[in-house]
Amino acid sequence: MGQMRTLLLASMGLLLAGCFGEEDGETIRLSGETMGTTYNVVAVDVSPDVTETELAVAVEETLKAVNASMSNWDKASEVSLFNADDTTEPMTISAEFAHVMAAADQIHAQSGGKFDVTLFPLIELWGFGAKKPGEPIPSDAEIAEALTHVDQGGLVTLDGETLAKADPKVSVNLSAIAKGYGNDAVARTLQDYGVENYLVEIGGDLVSAGKNDKGEPWKIGIETPDNSSNDIEMVLPVSNLGMATSGDYRNFFEQDGVRYSHLIDPTTGRPITHRATSVTVLAQSGMLADGWATAMMVLGEIEGLRVAEDNDLAVFFISRGAAGSDQEYVKQASSAFEKLRTAK
């Protein structure tokens, strides 16, 4: 999904740390390109009956199926056909597409509308789609016009495995959640082949299960949100969880002395301006971690932590210090994140 590149760049704060060591069993490592970014798979203790080629083909086929359903760059994909339909007639969609839309609707509701898969008109308007940075900043009137086609809760309705839009011009873009679903889909494929210990990573977001090839929990590093370094803020033991990081420090533009983040608030139509610069989310699936990471960055550290506590979400914010503060960054974690971080 090449169009996902805009939001994928926000999730590159996850680095694999300490994953590899002496191999006790058969470990297979696979990598490639998908969804406008790269993927990496580490499968540990793979049965001798399963060849690397067999597993590689299965993973590629799984990712192709996700793209065929949810890629906005593939004009024949389910989501593209839905967007191209200039009527408001309900469309039958696959169970997989419906599953992702249901999760998107849940996050949209629980985040107070800060996560919205109909956001694309604003992404384009602000220069993170076909329009290029450097062109005039959108006017209030242009923002207001784009907002008339942005409202996941009011303009798109999921009913079982049918999807309908109230406005023919509404489009759905799953770039902030489909990558995480892709991780989950690959994880299920590995499980189908009897693999119980694995790590799947797409564009910095990941899911893991069991142990690495040293017999230890997978260890994942959270990157300090600084383009001038690759420093690691902390390393977490992460197993049987999805993990995603979103930030505003890799994809933005500056014009006339003003910094414009690629992360746009769907309720205002404007880029975020709060101090949060990075957020990491741990969840029971890669899909939920991916979607909530974007939602949390739009919410910001104050409102985001409140929502995290209300919904028992494991969230870790890194924010810029206040003007005149001697702290370059301020770190804040939800209760659920602290429990996972300190769990033995």
Adjacent-strand bridge partners of 161: none
**pLDDT higher than threshold 90 for residue 38:** yes
46-66: b (≥16 Cβ within 10 Å) or e: beeebeeeebeebbbebbeeb
How much is the pLDDT for 228?
Answer: 57
Q: How far is CA 265 from the centre of its chain?
A: 16
Tokens in use for 271?
A: 């880029």
**pLDDT higher than threshold 60 for residue 16:** no
**pLDDT higher than threshold 70 for residue 193:** yes
**pLDDT higher than threshold 50 for residue 31:** yes
How much is the pLDDT for 65?
Answer: 97
Burial class, 159, CB count within 10 angstroms (exposed 0-12 / middle 13-18 / buried 19+): exposed
What does the alpha-carbon distance between residue 78 and residue 71 come to, in Å, rounded to a whole number? Answer: 8
pLDDT band at 225 (very low <50, low <70, confident <90, very high): confident
pLDDT band at 320 (very low <50, low <70, confident <90, very high): confident
93-148: per-residue pLDDT in tens? Answer: 999 999 999 999 999 999 999 999 999 999 888 876 545 555 678 899 999 999 99
Q: Among residues of the chain, what percentage have pLDDT more than 70?
A: 83
How much is the pLDDT for 227?
Answer: 56
